[in-house]
């Protein structure tokens, strides 16, 4: 009797073990989510001429970003320096000398809604902008958020500290902006952005920054790419004696990581 009971117990345990093993095989545990990585790149361009006229124009830009499930961070900077010397001139004339940078943090509350904090700084000798620093918190929304396409809009208050010519000023602003990225294929992509920042108590004093660009990979490993973009900065109340609009067309070679 004991032998029969032991046999029944052993067979039952074996059947249960087999059922559990089959269940685990049919329903394996979910794979761990991929660890977020930093992505970005550095780009540089150089134009140099010698002969009837000596010219030099160098550009550099860099950017990096990282995305978690509920957090996103991004950084970027760009600048240029250029000078020219016509035939017979004793000294060179500076044609370009500007620098710009930003940092932004996004906190997502859903797949599409987020709050952000952004700081941006700009210097431009030719526009006589000694500095312009903008602090902007706000809210954003992804209208499109797919693997090869994203489109978002942002709005919020802000505060600006600036020195135009010899005039220093600070004031409250609003900021409304839009960003778009689209992958044409696995080797080419384009982007576009625009933002409007008016002074709260004097809407005639505003700045519009816009950019559109395209990038194509040059190597199979996608580490090097050719990048071309157009930047437009419009200041409705520029420094005294300066024009309202500044347009820059930049072509450079980028190294990506």
CATH number at residue 104: 2.40.160.40
pTM greater than the 0.75 cutoff? yes
User: Which has more confidence, 24 or 227?
Assistant: 227
Q: What pLDDT score does 16 carry? A: 45
Average pLDDT over residues 210-234: 96
Residues 20 and 42 in one domain: no
Encoded tokens for 239: 């420094």
Average pLDDT over residues 16-22: 49
Average pLDDT, the chain: 89
Residues 155 and 237 in one domain: yes
Residues 87 and 13 in one domain: no
Phi/psi-derived region of residue 25, left when phi > 0, alpha when psi is between -120 and 50, beta in every other case: alpha
Q: What pLDDT score does 122 carry? A: 97
* Total tally of structural domains belonging to the chain: 2
Residues 25 and 87 in one domain: no
16: containing domain? 1-31
Check if the beta carbon of residue 153 is closer than 8 Å to that of residue 180: no
Encoded tokens for 149: 């396409």
Name the residue with tokens 């696995």: 186
Residues 251 and 185 in one domain: yes
Residues 52 and 151 in one domain: yes
Residues 14 and 131 in one domain: no
Poorest-pLDDT segment among 24-38, 39-53, 94-108, 146-160: 24-38
> Where residue 31 falls among pLDDT bands split at 50, 70, 90?
low
170: pLDDT strictly greater than 60: yes
250: pLDDT strictly greater than 50: yes
């Amino acid at each position: 009797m004991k032998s029969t009971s032991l046999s029944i117990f052993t067979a039952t345990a074996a059947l249960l073990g087999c059922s559990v093993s089959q269940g685990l095989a049919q329903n394996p545990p979910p794979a761990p989510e991929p660890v977020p990585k930093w992505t970005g790149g550095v780009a540089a361009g150089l134009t140099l001429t010698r002969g009837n006229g000596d010219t030099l124009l160098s550009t550099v830009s860099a950017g990096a970003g990282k995305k978690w499930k509920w957090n996103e961070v991004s950084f970027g900077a760009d600048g240029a320096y250029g000078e020219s010397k016509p035939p017979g001139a004793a000294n060179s004339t500076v044609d370009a000398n500007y620098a710009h940078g930003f940092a932004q943090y996004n906190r997502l509350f859903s797949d599409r809604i987020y709050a952000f904090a952004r700081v941006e700084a700009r210097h431009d000798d030719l526009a006589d902008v000694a500095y312009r620093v903008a602090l902007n918190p706000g809210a954003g929304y992804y209208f499109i958020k797919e693997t090869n396409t994203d489109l978002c809009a942002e709005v919020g208050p802000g505060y600006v500290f600036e020195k135009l010519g010899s005039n220093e000023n600070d004031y409250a602003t609003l900021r409304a902006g839009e960003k778009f990225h689209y992958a044409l294929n696995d080797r080419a992509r384009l982007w576009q952005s625009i933002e409007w920042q008016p002074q709260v108590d004097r809407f005639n004093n505003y700045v519009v920054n816009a950019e559109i660009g395209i990038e194509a990979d040059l190597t199979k490993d996608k580490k090097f790419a050719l990048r071309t973009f157009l930047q437009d900065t419009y200041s409705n109340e520029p420094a005294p004696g300066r024009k309202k609009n500044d347009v820059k067309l930049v072509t450079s070679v980028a190294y990506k990581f």
